[in-house]
Chain A
Amino acid sequence: MTEPIVISKLTKDFGGFKAVDDLSLTVPHRSFMGFLGPNGAGKTTSIKILTNMLSATSGEAYLNGVDVTKDPKTALANVGAVVETPEFYPYLTPRETLAYLGELRGMRKEDIDRRSKEVLETVKMTEWADKRIGKFSKGMKQRIAIAQAILHEPAVIILDEPTSGLDPRGMVEVREILMELKKADYTVFMSSHLLNEVQEVCTDVALINRGKLLRAGTVADLVGQVTVRRIEVQTMEKVTGELLNKVSKLEGVTELRAAGENHFIFSIDGGNEAQSKALTDLQSVGLKVVSFKESGLALETLYMSLIKESR
């Protein structure tokens, strides 16, 4: 069976600047893939090409086996998308908006009514179903945007930074909806620059920078490849130059820096064993360690190292 999203040698050139550069990527069936990269990496441009908002300079992008650059209507038939933070027609209510988009997709009236009820419940917007969208908050609009993306039960859902610009509460609410989508058997392709979000929600991840794919695979595989860990240490002693000098001489310690009066951070390569040995070594040089913990996410470490390499 054809994979739901296949991007092949995709390039988008904005007058000499390549926002997407020969990108090839396959999103496996029923995966929840995070599309990760810093600002300006080419995530949104790639997604806009996939959703027929931008034309590609070269290359192909298949959705359910149909090249969206050649036949967007057929390619988007079985896709739901939320790109950036869409605005809504202020004169329509959420229910009418869903009816509009459902009718455009050829859904029958009874299916639109049934699914509208279901998706508005999913995004917790039932009580607002018949209020005009004009005055809705950004978080409410984002929830309606997700509702319209899943209205027709598409095989593929494409989300472009769905929590971007939301307040903390809005982010949590949208993330809860994403977790619900994960339980259902959709194939989801979601761009983000929030590493914790991706590690929490996604099964797969693709890392991109400067329009080029750096790495792709399952989150478990990629995290497993990370052997370098960042360790944050709190001591009874004040962090002095002498103390840091001592620590820097310990086996495997790199990127050492002070992080406060009684705090310092370093990196160490070698997994659990090296981490355990580092704690013993710190105590052996006479440090009174108050806390010793891994700092940051494994995905973040991989991300930072790959981004650094790609520069």
Chain B
Amino acid sequence: MEANANATKNGTKTLPSDLQQVGVVAKYDVLKYLRSRRLLGILIIEALVLVLITALVATSDRPHTVDEVISQYIGFVSILIVLGATLFGGDAIVSEYQNRTGFLLFPNPVKKSSILAGKFASSVAAMSLMLLIYYAVAIVGGLLMGDGGMSTRVFASLGLALLYGISAIAVAFLISSIMKGSTGALILTFALFFLIFSIATSLIGQLGGIKPWFMLDFSGGSLSYIMNNPYPVDSVDTIGIGSGMSYTIYNYFPEVYLSIAVMLAYTVVSLVLAYVFFQRRQMAA
């Protein structure tokens, strides 16, 4: 059969490349974050956290180094990342189905892989903006309230935070590609990081005595530990509790390079699975 798809009613046209379409989807998805209350909401939460930590550090009598002050701020980054992943990625895919905007978008000559990549890029951009603002304020706070110079570990922490953010968004996209409703997807994403992952990590590490290096939240912890000098090492402490009985405490810390590998693996596997589910998902009703 002769193909004449590029011949329009009044001439010819060439479709943009997949990559160009990724850019278009990302551009308009970023607009969604800028105009919705989600980005504003998370920035308000971020501002409140920053104000609170600043007030605590400023009123503390103990002298701090710049890195110690910045570490105080960094202690809350993981929570912000989970919130960001939930709000920026939790319903990115499912909303096209539940809100019926897929009826508008999908009949266009654009591959689902381009839609997924574009949405992912915009979510990562929103997450990055949130983290960059947070770290910028933390650095300024550290320099103003701390003594001495700032180490490059801060930038390493920022890099790990960005990677943790990216991998958390990828997991959120996977959930979003499977779930039927936006609310369920948002709740599950939040619960996965705050409850399921943390409970599983505790059970595996504290009760099982197995280092949970393969857990995403455990790997994400490296963004805080990297501020310690020297970097903490694993330890096993056995404490006697009388009558010949003892209690063993396992202290596990993520190794930086292994953490990076785990976060990358979560990102790749989650995105591939999200794509497979999204590709197979049909606009049935």
Residue B13 CB within 8 A of the other chain: yes
Residue of B2, B20, B104, B111 near A73 (CB, 8 A) is: B111
Determine if B16 and A104 form an interchain contact, defined as CB atoms under 8 angstroms apart: yes
Contacts of B107 in A (CB 8 A): 51-53, 76, 79, 81, 83, 158
Given contacts A100-B24, A106-B15, contact A86 B7 (CB under 8 A): no
Q: How far is the CA of A75 from the CA of B283 in the complex (A)?
A: 18
CB distance from A191 to the nearest CB of B (A): 14
Candidate in B2, B20, B103 with the most chain A CB atoms within 10 angstroms? B103
**Given pairs A77-B6, A88-B101, A92-B28, 14 additional interface contacts (CB within 8 A):** A1-B4, A53-B106, A55-B282, A62-B1, A64-B3, A73-B15, A75-B109, A77-B5, A83-B103, A86-B103, A87-B104, A101-B108, A103-B16, A154-B8
Interface residues of B in 1-55 (CB under 8 A from A): 1-10, 13-16, 20-21, 24-25, 27-28, 31-32, 35-36
Residue of B8, B27, B109 near A153 (CB, 8 A) is: B8
Instruction: Pull 23 A–B residue pairs with CB atoms less than 8 Å apart, ordered by A.
Output: A2-B4, A53-B102, A54-B282, A54-B283, A65-B5, A72-B109, A74-B5, A74-B15, A74-B109, A76-B107, A77-B13, A83-B107, A85-B103, A86-B100, A86-B104, A87-B99, A91-B35, A96-B28, A96-B31, A105-B13, A105-B16, A106-B20, A107-B13
Interface residues of A in 89-109 (CB under 8 A from B): 89, 91-92, 96-97, 100-101, 103-107
Determine if A76 and B32 form an interchain contact, defined as CB atoms under 8 angstroms apart: no
Contacts of B110 in A (CB 8 A): 73, 104
Determine if A76 and B108 form an interchain contact, defined as CB atoms under 8 angstroms apart: yes
Residue B284 CB within 8 A of the other chain: yes
Residue of B1, B13, B106 near A51 (CB, 8 A) is: B106
Contacts of B102 in A (CB 8 A): 53
Q: How far is the CA of A201 from the CA of B110 in the complex (A)?
A: 31
Determine if B13 and A152 form an interchain contact, defined as CB atoms under 8 angstroms apart: yes
Determine if B100 and A87 form an interchain contact, defined as CB atoms under 8 angstroms apart: yes
Contacts of A53 in B (CB 8 A): 102-103, 106-107, 282-283
Determine if A91 and B100 form an interchain contact, defined as CB atoms under 8 angstroms apart: no
Contacts of B14 in A (CB 8 A): 106
Contacts of A77 in B (CB 8 A): 5-6, 13, 15, 109
CB distance from B11 to the nearest CB of A (A): 9
Interface residues of B in 67-109 (CB under 8 A from A): 99-104, 106-109
Residue A66 CB within 8 A of the other chain: yes
Determine if B24 and A64 form an interchain contact, defined as CB atoms under 8 angstroms apart: no
Contacts of A54 in B (CB 8 A): 282-284
Determine if B103 and A87 form an interchain contact, defined as CB atoms under 8 angstroms apart: yes
Number of interface residues of A (CB under 8 A): 51
Contacts of B1 in A (CB 8 A): 2, 6, 62, 65, 67
Give the residue name and chain of the A residue nearest to B18 (CB). Answer: A73
Q: How far is the CA of A103 from the CA of B13 in the complex (A)?
A: 12
Given contacts A48-B283, A74-B109, contact A152 B15 (CB under 8 A): no
A 196-238 to B, binary, CB cutoff 8 A, 1 in contact else 0: 0000000000000000000000000000000000000000000
B 254-285 to A, binary, CB cutoff 8 A, 1 in contact else 0: 00000000000000000000000000001110
CB distance from B97 to the nearest CB of A (A): 10
Determine if B99 and A153 form an interchain contact, defined as CB atoms under 8 angstroms apart: no
Contacts of A106 in B (CB 8 A): 13-16, 20
CB distance from A216 to the nearest CB of B (A): 20
Residue of B4, B32, B109 near A105 (CB, 8 A) is: B109
CB distance from A144 to the nearest CB of B (A): 9
Number of interface residues of B (CB under 8 A): 39
CB distance from A98 to the nearest CB of B (A): 11
Q: How far is the CA of A282 from the CA of B55 in the complex (A)?
A: 99
Contacts of A76 in B (CB 8 A): 107-109
Determine if B101 and A155 form an interchain contact, defined as CB atoms under 8 angstroms apart: no
Residue of B25, B31, B106, B283 near A91 (CB, 8 A) is: B31
Q: How far is the CA of A83 from the CA of B16 in the complex (A)?
A: 23
Residue of A65, A79, A89, A154 near B2 (CB, 8 A) is: A65
Residue A145 CB within 8 A of the other chain: yes
Q: How far is the CA of A84 from the CA of B8 in the complex (A)?
A: 25
Residue of B13, B101, B106, B284 near A52 (CB, 8 A) is: B106
Q: How far is the CA of A91 from the CA of B3 in the complex (A)?
A: 37
Residue A185 CB within 8 A of the other chain: yes
Determine if A104 and B2 form an interchain contact, defined as CB atoms under 8 angstroms apart: no
Contacts of B7 in A (CB 8 A): 64, 78, 155
Determine if A75 and B5 form an interchain contact, defined as CB atoms under 8 angstroms apart: yes
Determine if A84 and B24 form an interchain contact, defined as CB atoms under 8 angstroms apart: no
Q: How far is the CA of A84 from the CA of B9 in the complex (A)?
A: 25
Given contacts A2-B2, A65-B1, A153-B8, contact A91 B32 (CB under 8 A): yes
Q: How far is the CA of A74 from the CA of B18 in the complex (A)?
A: 12
CB distance from A61 to the nearest CB of B (A): 12
Residue A10 CB within 8 A of the other chain: no
Give the residue name and chain of the B residue nearest to A157 (CB). Answer: B9
Give the residue name and chain of the A residue nearest to B115 (CB). Answer: A104
CB distance from A80 to the nearest CB of B (A): 8
